[in-house]
Structure 1
Amino acid sequence: MERKKKVLLALARLCREKAPAGQLEIGFTAQEVAREAGIIRSNASGDLNYLVKEGLVVKFPGRPVRFVTRQYWEESKARNGREDTGRMAVQEIEMNPFTSLLGWNSSLKVAVEQARAALLYPPHGLHTLLIGPTGSGKTLFARTMFRYAQTLGRVTGQAQLVSFNCADYAHNPQLLMSQLFGHVKGAFTGAAQEKPGLVDAAHKSILFLDEIHRLPPEGQEMLFYLMDNGQYRRLGETGSYRSCTTLVIGATTADPHSSLLATFYRRFPVVINIPALAERPLAERLLLLKQLLAGESRQIGRPLKVTADAIRALLLYDCPGNIGQLFNDIRLTCARAFLDATSKGTREVVITAASLPPHVQPRSAAGDNYLQELAGLVLEEEWYIEPDEAGVTAACQVPDLYTLLEKEREANGVEGINNEVQWKRSRQALEEYYHRYLKETVQDWKNARLRLARLVGQDIIALAQEAVKIAREDLPGQVDTSTFLALALHLNACRQRLKAGQEIVNPYLEEIQKEYPREIEVARKVMALIEKKLNLALPPDEAGFLAMLFRAGRQGKEPAGEPVGVVVMAHGSRTATSMAEVANKLVGTNAALALDIPLEGEPQQWLIEATRVVRQADRGRGVLLLVDMEPLISWGEIIAKRTGLKIHVLDNVTTAMVIEAVRKASRFPLHELVAEIGKYHYLEEYWPLEGQGNKIIVATCLTGEGAARRIKAMIREWLGDREEINIVTVNMNGQVTGSGMGWQALKGKGKLVAVIGSVDLKIPDVPFISLEEWLLGQGRWRLQELLQLPAREQDITPQELEAVLAQYLRFLEPGKMLDLCSQITRQLSQSLGRRLLPHHKINLIVHLSCLVERLQAGEQGSFWPGEEEIKRRYPREWLAVAEAMAGLEKNFNITIPTGEIAFVVQFLQET
């Protein structure tokens, strides 16, 4: 028989015998077809693609690609009446490259929706800023946005994504500007001929600028002129402007409020946060781990066997470099294991805990949420990955309800399991768990049944469908799509537990039978079905878990509370309306109301209209007013007095802010919603200065906004509750933020005591304290004297010091380094019997943190003159420092050079 026909028959058998009805988008992988046909995978893959071209097979793109026969596809459409929806499902997968991103419908769901909205926005899309730590995947996300733009026709098929890392030339701004915009002959020394820039190459395409905060201010101004007007000049050019139509995607690891000009930052209507690896669910990290290992298996062409200890360590260790570091650590691990396999002459590469880099150790401490998430993962004893298993996913990333109940039982005490109070506590914990899982986690799967099938297998999908059909007949209104998905995941966990020989014990079965008799009856019918289909013997206790699941369906029907009202007000013809439309479309609601205020309009008339819109938006929980600039900020207070409603105002509104507000409006009361949005968007504050006796401190930065506000917060925290001292933020031009007044107006409000920050306003007789002085301690002593405060030790708070470390460190986690280095300073103080002053501690912590990062990056430690003399003169101090440093060496698998020990010893002697 011809091989191609053999492959087609094998796929037909799989569709006929193993494909569950109604799950058209699942299909079978080339590996599954190859096994069924008895041939190798590469041949099956090639034949399947030929059959697709011939129209005999339907292909579903994804990771991995899946197939069904054309006959099965057509019959299923006819049987289910799904011709239109089936075609739309295929088109959606083909038109959405974001589905290739891990977590696209979970932790990255909001980011993906924002990106799609930005690219869909007519006529050419919206400029976008990606924010996230190093290694979180911003570059990959930008490339995926480009691929999506290609599918939309925003860029031509021949166009390329033009990428540029602004940090590469940050030391030479002139060269950076030349690379970006090009230059004319004679523009600078060495410019012998005219040269086009990257902007030219990005015409009718996308320009991706990584580390965009490294652009100098003049570069930011040139770029936002291009973004606004589609025009630019090359470096040294003075004639007419050139034209360019391009969409700008920027990426930064820094806080954009302090690192970008405010005028430049506002040119990005869409700001997308890419979460760090630690912020993503453990289930996603487990899936990512297996994908990366599968990639390495393909790379070396050998199967990988990964032990359970190695899986747990790679899953749970602190990975401050995010996905980038995880990839490097896995590659190093595989290299070590490959070398070991080669020396032993074995083909199979075995990865054990001994193969891992020394710093890959599980976290020693974790919070309750983390432990609960970990308990929800069913980890396999080991993984066996073949080189041809492209895109294999972990089998059991599913919450384990059995473990949850066991932990609750241990907390209650085994002897008292029949106690009524303890049963109520356990019941509440289970119901809350199911309810939260159904309402939050499972919702992310509603559009991702393909992923669900990869997790649990098609036999479980078919079984769950039959079980739901039974439950719907006896429990009308309690069972829906969410219940089906949760049931499929639970059945898979049940099978895994029984295969592993673990018991299924429900100590509250008697109470469940009394309180949920209808659900118990349905659960027993479902158990009979499970035993028949999976050939398993289920203990009676399993009925209790299934009954709780069906009961949770009723719990999930409780109506949600009314949301907080959201109103967007902005100047322009459609500015507010556009932002509200994008947010409502993404979130799937009409919660955001908009009011566009013309620049030439009469303010009093529009204030009346704004009052009407706010009344319309209120549903009894208050209104969040999102505005673009003055004088709309002050309207909030006026409208609140006129209506009697609770109103909060946030300014500098962006599309991202509106999306976040609409998404969370039903989940938080007004004050908590403001706090949630305010994490990333600052609330405009008035500066009430009363009386001539007040003392005024001026906080400064370039814009008077982001950084100045943080300086203000640090000073206020240090001062405590001193109402007679006012802190005012001022920009580099001497203008008080949000008032339109110069700093001279402050003199009439009180006595100017000091200027603190990054800009010296050079006010006569008013001392300037730099931000560095403030953070390192000396500035606090000065301010204490200027304010004539009682003497006290001016210690920096851990939060402030962590913020300082974040400015220095590239990939290490500031919080972790702060803890480790603080232990060293305490150890040195105790062993040497001397007290370190706060600014000495700070200097030492910053130095040691940067030293560890340099050594981890492969850089050499500094040479320190007179090393031998220092060791000879201070043997006790040398030993104490060497012992303290040993903790860093062990934690990061580094060797600290003796020159660095000599430096610390001399530093301690001098302090």
Structure 2
Amino acid sequence: MKAQEELYQKLLSLLDQYNHLGGITASELAEHVSLKRSVVSLYLNQLCEQGRLQKTLMRPVRFNRIQFIPSKDVFKRFIGYSGSHLNQISQCKSAVMYPPDGLPIIITGDSGVGKSYLASLIYEYALSKEVIPPEAPYVELNCADYANNPELLSSMLFGHTEGAFTGATKNKKGLLDAANGGYLFLDEIHRLSSENQEKLFLFMDKGKFRRLGENDHWHSSHVRFIFATTEDTNTHLIGTFLRRIPIRIHLLNYKSRPIMEKLDLIESLYQNEAIQIQKNLLVHEQLINKLLSMEATGNIGTLNNAIKISIANAYNNQSTTEQLILTKEHLVYETNEIKSSELIQTPTHFFGIAFRSHTEKQISTQLYHEFKDKIWTIANHTDFFEADPIAMIKQIIDEIDRFMTNFSFYTQEVDKNYLKLNEQKLLSKIDTCIHLVQTTYGIELHTSIIELLKKICIYIISHDGQLTFSESLLAKIVYANNTQFRISEKISASILENTSVDSNTLFALIYYILEPQNFSVNTIEGIIIAHGESTATSIASVANVLCKDYIFEPFDMPINISNAEIIKQVNAYLKNIDTRKGVILLVDMGSLQTLYEPIKNHLNGELLIVNNLSTLMAIDIGLKIQTHIPFQQIIETTQNAYISETKFYEGLTLGNNVIISCISGIGIAQKIKSIFDGVLLPNQLDILTIEYQELKRLIQSSSKTQLNHTQLIITTTPISTHPIPSVNIENILNMSEVNIFRVALKQILSAAQLDQITENIIKLFSIEGIKDHLSFLNPNVIISEVSEVIKKYEDYYQVSFEHHIRLNLLMHISIMVERLILHELKDIEDDYKPSSAQNKFVHLSKRAFNTIEKKYHFTVPKSELLLIFEILEDSLTYAN
């Protein structure tokens, strides 16, 4: 467990133990943990930033638990953000966050699809992430308004000087000046002349421009760009300009939207109008269906006009009533016939969809009860959804998503219900599931899917029993994608462990939450069976991650398990899997005949079993499955393909050798081998990479002659290799491990070679260690930059930091730099007064970080510099 998490759990324990209603100070908590008060203060403030704790504004500052509230995302107002436009929204976020000034974006799509609206959300998102200041401007210009006068358009953009053209009576600044520090949105960019496009891409390249009428003076501005057009960009924009716009977003028209997104658009527009005219609306389902079937050539604009006209027609005869009732006769737009399976049907007692003229806060209690009634109505009137049960499930997901997104508006009654659940434990469980999906099954879930998954799981478990799908409904659902099915099954089973929640209901919801992931369809099913606590999982993980797909399902079996039990577990797994295209079973040992018949008899397709499992075999067969090689061809290429290569020496090699073996696979072992190979002289030392199971076999064998010339064994897992010296590479930075390493090889390698190998291993583990913690910084680049900072400290204090201190610094500072770029770290106000040594260190650090601060446009807070001092304090004790 990380130190921060241990500190958090200790705080919760003390709050419960001593009933500290007002919270605990950093000093009080420091007395109960083995951390310095300044470190405790830093961790507590970070937990506040994460939304896991709250603190008082009075002195002394006290920290207390906080209620979990789902984070808000401005893009959730864009209908389709987690569905048809999932990838587009993800690109928008990436463009906003790209350091230091974001990336230019061009939005394409038909008229009325929401290009301008999306541009405004991009600006709001940049504000919410604090990548632009709160006062940053948002400037819009429709280039079509000046299409016939390119000179005037150039003046609007760049400004002009007095006398630049007829009517230019004084100097005037342009939109590039007005948008300085913020966003400039240029709509109908295809109406911009080639000359103006050239001026604009010069500014995008150099950050400088000339006003119209100037020849010898340059101006500068700091602008982020969003462009939009209804036309083909390759036809209407010059290539040099288009190449400056790396992010290209295309929005679908209304006709191409999924049926549920069309319904969301209709509901949103009616709700806006209800608030605007201060009238409650009740819209008949037949009118909704007519709007769903509209061609809407003007897309959302046309849809909005149709909705306004329907309200106006109803208002004409019902102006004195509190509620307007809208029927299909109030719609004057022509529509096409809509398929019966796409009809939005409602129970007989439910006349239509209601929209209210009040704000959400004014009717929070009523909204909550209406939401519960709506969910119950959808789930319990399945006869109205027999034609399309999937649409019903997706509608429920959307309703719960909306409810959880707006949770802060609801009443205390809801809060109490919500707090039946320990949210942090559930969120931790979900994070564990996601990590399993990524590391074992090789699938990187989209961020928006993870957010939705958390909201749905929190709602379902905290509202236990309120939503249960009937068996008749579940029987109508066909789960077509095996990968999606298996991932859903594992997530739901893990989350529902030790709960009474209906597993079938949550499983069905998760299955369709995962649908936008677009899982590949592997027609052949793969299974790996191996004896040991995690052997099968480790091999399957390597194969799945390298294939970037869920190819193999692992079964880790106890050493003494019977074949009958193995068969039972495999058949239970295959029972719910489509096996018509065949199953491939990889096993480490056992009688193939004993396994074949009992499993084959339970399949709808062919079965191939391959013995003598290895990681290489799993990767090879996994790639064949992924590339859809026919089953029969896999059988042919597999036969006699994995016979062990045999050599005979008195040892594994004729000369001295070092063995490297990693239990998680050959990847890290190969990288460590490359470090040795880059330093060794020809024929100086052989470096062998061996699978962990093979190494164990060699060590445990009665005859160890194959290890006669082995000087050292390097592993990632503790293992007894006596009498051959061994080191755990993950601890090689500790002095005791370094001494074993150097003593074992000092007769073969020079001191300089040993130093270089050790230094490169530090960098390797620094890079590997921070990869999972960095969102966008290149680990190789940032580690080189941080190494320069460390060298400045060493030069000033005339010390050489130990390897484990250097590694700690590389990881800590690299992660700190990215968080500063993302504005996730702020200086922490504290009553603590630094010592003279700390003040001296802070002053030196300003010079050490000067280059990085200039490059990434931030200032390292004093509190962060003091934390670095804590890491180095013991190393600097005797320095000057």
Q: Which bin holds the TM-score, normalised by the shorter protein?
A: 0.3 to 0.5
TM-score (norm 2): 0.40
